[in-house]
Amino acid sequence: MTPYDDTPAQAAAPLIDGFGRTVRYLRVSVTDRCDLRCVYCMAEHMTFLPKAQVLTLEELDRIASAFVSLGTRKLRLTGGEPLVRKGVMGLVRGLSRHLASGALDELTLTTNGTQLGAFAGELADAGVRRINVSLDTLKPDLFRQLTRGGDLGKVLAGVAAAQAAGLAVKINAVALRDANAAEIPDLIRWAHGQGCDMTLIETMPMGEVDVDRTDEFLSLKDVRRELESFWTLEDIPLTTGGPARYVRVAETGGRLGFITPLSHNFCDTCNRVRLTCTGTLHTCLGREDATDLRAVLRAGASDAELADAIRAAVLAKPQGHDFRIVPRGASVSRHMSTTGG
Ligand code: SAM
Ligand code: SF4
């Protein structure tokens, strides 16, 4: 890897879209690959991208750092599974210079947890303070089925390793009508018992998978109503500028978030954009809008030209998403593993 430029990010005018929203949060998918094959996320036999199409670690750093210089305060690495990307810790350590300079408030990641046993300590050393771990069930057989072969024990050990390293862990679970609906209260109790926040996510119709999404979709409105039949959920004004709405569960003392892209419209306060591992910038998770920043980089763009391309893309951020549940298909053709969840 080439040495990183450690000059402090220049203060530039923030990224503002055409509807007056300031973009301060970038999610970066560092790979489309994964060591699991969750049924709602990937097809069983995925064709992964050829290496030449995937941004190098240096290119990922350059684009992420351009966003930081344009006022991005929060970076989240995701994927695919970010911790299976070879050399990813070099990227994390490189990006952590923006934490040290004060240009960035937070560097974090979303992971399936399988590799945390190996990486938790290094992540903490690099300045990562919080991570999201995706976990939909505590039943080993169901976990193996939902992830097509995953080992629940590894994830639980990963969560423990992260906590031992001092990382705050938030558990994310996708709510699935048949698979885990009945287990959701137990998952919440477990997460809160571990001192973790928990967020429930509605399935989003992204990418062709092998299952019928109309069968899987579970409205979080219904989940919330069910939880309220035996728990007290107190609204808390924790707003991340994102799609999650939070409550405190009085009985467990823990925080619970609901991400409801389909039954609730969160677009008017959206402050985030997403970069795929191929360098495509999506300014809305639920639209087909796309700007090819890899082409800009590989054409030899200067930092100013790269910043201009980013500004133009953000200016065109759509006002809102367009998700619809489509049986077996998808209203947005790319997979979550490509876009980064
Ligand atoms: N591999 C990492 C993980 O699983 O946390 C990071 C990438 S994964 C695509 C990010 C998040 O997206 C996970 O919490 C996953 O459950 C969620 N996800 C994947 N496909 C989804 C879908 N179709 N609808 C809703 N959430 C989805
Ligand atoms: Fe992999 Fe995450 Fe997708 Fe599951 S949700 S297949 S862990 S990228």
pLDDT at 213: 56
**Would you kindly state where each structural domain of the chain is located, as residue ranges?**
8-339
> Which of ligand 1's atoms lies nearest the C-alpha of 109?
6
For ligand 1, whether the C-beta of 150 sits within 6 Å is: no
pLDDT at 318: 80
Arithmetic mean of pLDDT, 141-145: 97
- Determine if ligand 1 sits within 6 Å of the CB of residue 41: yes
Does residue 41 have its Cβ closer than 6 Å to ligand 2?
Answer: yes
Closest approach atom of ligand 1 to CA 36: 1
pLDDT of residue 260: 79
Which pLDDT does position 327 carry in this prediction? 45
Q: State how far the Cα of 291 lies from the Cα of 313, in Å rounded to an integer.
A: 6
Q: Is the pLDDT of residue 298 over 70?
A: yes
Ligand 1, residue 172: give the atom nearest the CA.
Answer: 14
Ligand nearest to the CA of 323: 1
* CA 42 – ligand 1 centroid, Å: 10
Q: Is 112 in the pocket of ligand 1 (CB under 6 A)?
A: yes
The model's pTM is 0.91
Strands of the chain, DSSP E = 15-16, 22-23, 25-29, 74-78, 106-111, 130-134, 168-175, 197-202, 233-236, 244-249, 255-259, 272-275, 280-282, 291-292
Average pLDDT score, the chain: 88
Cβ of 282 less than 6 Å from ligand 2: no
* CATH architecture of the domain covering 8-339: Alpha-Beta Barrel (3.20)
**How does strand 244-249 pair with strand 233-236?**
antiparallel
- pLDDT tens track for 164-223: 999 999 999 999 998 999 999 999 999 999 999 999 998 876 666 666 656 778 889 999
Amino acid 276: pLDDT: 96
1, with CB counted inside 10 A (0-12, 13-18, 19+), is exposed
Q: Which residues contact 48 (CB under 8 A, 6 or more apart)?
A: 32, 33
Buried (b) or exposed (e) across 314-332, using 16+ Cβ within 10 A?
A: beebbeebebebeeeebbb
146 alpha carbon, closest ligand: 2
Q: What is the pLDDT of residue 239?
A: 65
Q: Which ligand is nearest to the CA of 335?
A: 1
Among 69-73, 125-129, 204-208, where is mean pLDDT lowest? 204-208
Residue nearest to atom 17 of ligand 1 (CA): 341
Of the listed ranges 102-111, 230-239, 332-341, the least confidently predicted one is: 332-341
| More confident site: 215 or 41 | 41
Q: Is 135 in the pocket of ligand 2 (CB under 6 A)?
A: no
pLDDT band at residue 268 using 50, 70 and 90 as cut-offs = confident
Burial state string for 8-44 with b = 16 or more CB within 10 A and e = fewer than 16: ebeeeeebebeeebebbbbbbbbbbbbbbbbbbbbee
Query: Which pLDDT band, with edges at 50, 70 and 90, does 325 fall under?
Result: very low
Which atom of ligand 1 is nearest to 174's Cα? 16
Judge whether residue 81 has pLDDT over 80.
yes
Q: Does the pLDDT at position 265 exceed 70?
A: no
For the ranges 96-110, 145-159, 239-253, 319-333, which has the lowest average pLDDT? 319-333
Ligand 1 pocket, 40 CB below 6 A?
A: yes
Q: If you take atom 10 of ligand 1, which residue's CA is the nearest one?
A: 341
% the chain with pLDDT above 90 = 69
* Ligand 2 pocket test, candidate residues 29, 37, 133, 259, most atoms within 8 A of CB: 37
76 CB contacts (<8 Å, ≥6 apart)?
A: 25, 26, 27, 28, 108, 109, 110
Three-class SS of 16-41: ECCCCCEECEEEEECCCCCCCCCCCC
248 in the Ramachandran plot: left (φ > 0), alpha (ψ -120 to 50) or beta? Answer: beta
List pLDDT tens digits, range 193-206: 999 999 999 887 66
For 149, the 3-state DSSP assignment is: coil
On the question of pLDDT at 339 being above 60, the answer is no
